[in-house]
Amino acid sequence: MATKVIHAIYTDDDVLLDAVKKVRAAKYTIKEVFTPFPVHGLDKAVGIEPTRIAIASFLYGLLGLTVAVVMMNYIMIVDWPQDIGGKPSFTFIQNMPAFIPIMFELTVFFAGHLMVITFYLRSKIWPFRKAENPDLRTTDDHFLMEIEVHGEETELLKLLSNTHASEVKVVEPLKILG
């Protein structure tokens, strides 16, 4: 673990993206980048691997579809079959056109709600948790790149001054309990 980190603050997202690419090309470790809005291409520039969130969403949707089919089959066919509009409920397949809206809605419901829960758990966003943002300006209009220092402080400061950073400062990293 690094004993110090450097905070480089930028006022433009394109300048930040170019700076991230230069810092990564120089083989420095970028600990985190704080932005007020998503920056297209930043995840690849920082070196973050693609997530498996789409697979999780698909599985959650399948779970919702399964719950819908089992629930409707039990309620409408097994437990209390009814003769609605002269159409008896003998099998699930005969009544499937009437069940399609319910299957769709529960698929979307499960996928949406379980994705939100997964996002909160994966991001470790708990109720009443304190923010880990090192500079409040990054919630408004500034961008901050946090770089670990491993003894090459002067070279890194020189590199960051060439990337058009509006501010560069060396700070001690905060010990935040998760």
**Quick one: pLDDT at residue 136?**
85
- From the number of C-beta atoms within 10 Å of its C-beta (0-12, 13-18, 19+), residue 123 rates as exposed
Instruction: Tell whether 57 and 44 lie within a shared domain.
Output: no
Q: State if pTM tops 0.85.
A: no
130 within domain boundaries: no
Instruction: Tell whether 45 and 90 lie within a shared domain.
Output: no
Domain residue limits at 163: 4-50+136-171
**Quick one: pLDDT at residue 100?**
92
129 within domain boundaries: no
pLDDT, tens only, 116-146: 999 888 888 878 888 778 888 888 899 999 9
Instruction: Tell whether 61 and 40 lie within a shared domain.
Output: no
Looking at the structure of the chain, the number of domains it has is 2
What percent of the chain lies above the pLDDT cut of 90? 43
**pLDDT at residue 169 greater than cutoff 50:** yes
Instruction: Tell whether 24 and 60 lie within a shared domain.
Output: no
CATH of the domain at 42: 3.30.70
Residues 90, 81: contact at Cβ < 8 Å? yes
177 within domain boundaries: no
Residues 108, 64: contact at Cβ < 8 Å? yes
**Quick one: pLDDT at residue 175?**
58
178 within domain boundaries: no
Instruction: Tell whether 105 and 156 lie within a shared domain.
Output: no
What residues contact residue 45 under an 8 Å CB cut-off, 6+ apart? 17, 20, 21, 24
Instruction: Tell whether 14 and 72 lie within a shared domain.
Output: no
pLDDT, tens only, 61-91: 999 999 999 999 898 888 887 777 776 777 7
In this prediction, residue 173 has a pLDDT band, given cuts at 50, 70 and 90, of low
pLDDT, tens only, 147-166: 988 877 888 888 888 898 89
